[in-house]
Amino acid sequence: MAIETFPKGYGARKRRSQKTAFGIFRGLSLFIVLVLFAILGFIIYRGAGVIDWTFLTEAPSDGMTSGGIFPAIIGTLLLMAGSAIVAFPVGIMSGIYMNEYASKSGWAVKFIRLMTNNLSGVPSIVFGLFGMALFVKYLGFGDSILAGSLTLGLLSLPLVIRTTEEALKDIPAGIREGSLALGASKLQTIWKVVLPMGMPRIITGLILSLGRVSGETAPILFTCAAYFFPQLPSSIFDQCMALPYHLYVISTSGTDIEAQQPIAYGTALVLIIIVLVINLLAGVLRKYFENRLKLK
């Protein structure tokens, strides 16, 4: 049913002021959309010509003025996987505890939520400092994939906890009660009923957290990232190159700007593609699961 925006009694002044206000809102929103497309378009336009098979599969050469970015891609993927191993189990368990075990009004929930929120607000460079002090120096891992993954894992922990919690919160209490009434224990209920139902949304959240990890530079500056490490890492105690750090290095402290700028565009484009793919994947999954739930 369509409602008339302006029933008859409204004066011209009111109409005008609403039109102007909403026009401004629309204009500013449109402007931001244009900004996003300008950034994406610019990088895609300049970077598209650079990316080809050799760029993606070769190591940098000639003092990083030619060659590809293969080690950086692998390094970023390793760091994403490493941070997932660190953050996912702990984060999901923590989310389950928050929603299923802890009493909603107790001090524990309030305290943990406060701390989790605070942790998610901690700047990434502080994570870098912390990772360096704890993992690199104190525990003696050195600049390594291990130290980098642990740092990035801790960074993405709040996001994982929050998505798990939100996913489980929306599951109606009746479903849990039904399972418990059938004689299942609490753990069985969580494992067989609650988690499978919440899984779609948890997975979406996990994918988005991977996206965040893929672009982080500051936390790996001092824990893992190597300026130039053309061979692939052979153990988790090796350093590795990473896409965001590579982009930073190449675009700020380049020796030969003419030759390196295309590489920078290419690297930026690969990063953007990773982010786009991850966002798209999360969006598609969300849609898919929503539809499936609706059908049920």
Partner 1 sequence: MRRIFEKAVKWLLTASGFVTSIVILLIIGFLFTEGAGLFKEKVIEEGYVLALNRENNVKELTAAQIKAIFDEDVTNWKEFGGPDMRIEPFRLEDADKLFTEEELGGQYENAGSLIASLIEAHPGMVAFVPESMIPKGANLNFIEDRSISPKEVFAGSEWFPTATPAPLFGMWPLLAGTLWVSLFAILFALPFGISIAVYMSEVASERVRGFLKPVIELLNGIPSVVYGFFGLIVIVPLLQQVFGLPVGESGLAGSIVLAIMALPTIVTVAEDAMRSCPRSLREASLALGATQWQTVYRVVIPSSMSGIASGVVLGIGRAVGETMAVLMVTGNAAAVPSSILEPLRTIPATIAAELGEAPAGGAHYQSLFLLGVILFFITFFINLCVEYISSRNKAKNS
Work out whether strand 60-61 and strand 66-67 pair parallel, antiparallel, or are unpaired: antiparallel
Q: How far is the CB of 140 from partner 1 (least distance, A)?
A: 13
The interface mask with partner 1, positions 72-101, x = CB under 8 A, is: -----------------xx--xx-xxx-xx
**Burial class of residue 78, CB neighbours in 10 A (0-12, 13-18, 19+):** buried
Of the candidates 240, 244, 273, the residue with the CA atom closest to the CA atom of residue 78: 240
Q: How far is the CB of 59 from partner 1 (least distance, A)?
A: 20
Q: Position of tokens 């929103």?
A: 29
Contact between 145 and partner 1 by CB under 8 A: the answer reads no
Task: Please choose, out of 8-16, 48-56, 166-174, 199-207, the segment that lies near partner 1 by the rule CB under 8 A.
Answer: 8-16
Q: Which of 65, 66, 124, 273 binds partner 1 (CB under 8 A)?
A: 124
Would you say 80 and 241 are in contact if contact means Cβ atoms under 8 Å apart? no
Q: How far is the CB of 141 from partner 1 (least distance, A)?
A: 14
Residue 189 CA, distance from chain mean position = 30
Q: For the residues of 22-58, what is the DSSP string, one character each?
A: HHHHHHHHHHHHHHHHHHHHHHHHHHTTT--HHHHHS
Contact between 132 and partner 1 by CB under 8 A: the answer reads yes
- Number of residues engaging partner 1 in binding (CB under 8 A): 89
Q: How far is the CB of 33 from partner 1 (least distance, A)?
A: 5
The interface mask with partner 1, positions 210-229, x = CB under 8 A, is: -xx-xxxxx--xx-------
Q: Position of tokens 């994918």?
A: 207
Q: Which of 105, 252, 294, 295 binds partner 1 (CB under 8 A)?
A: 252
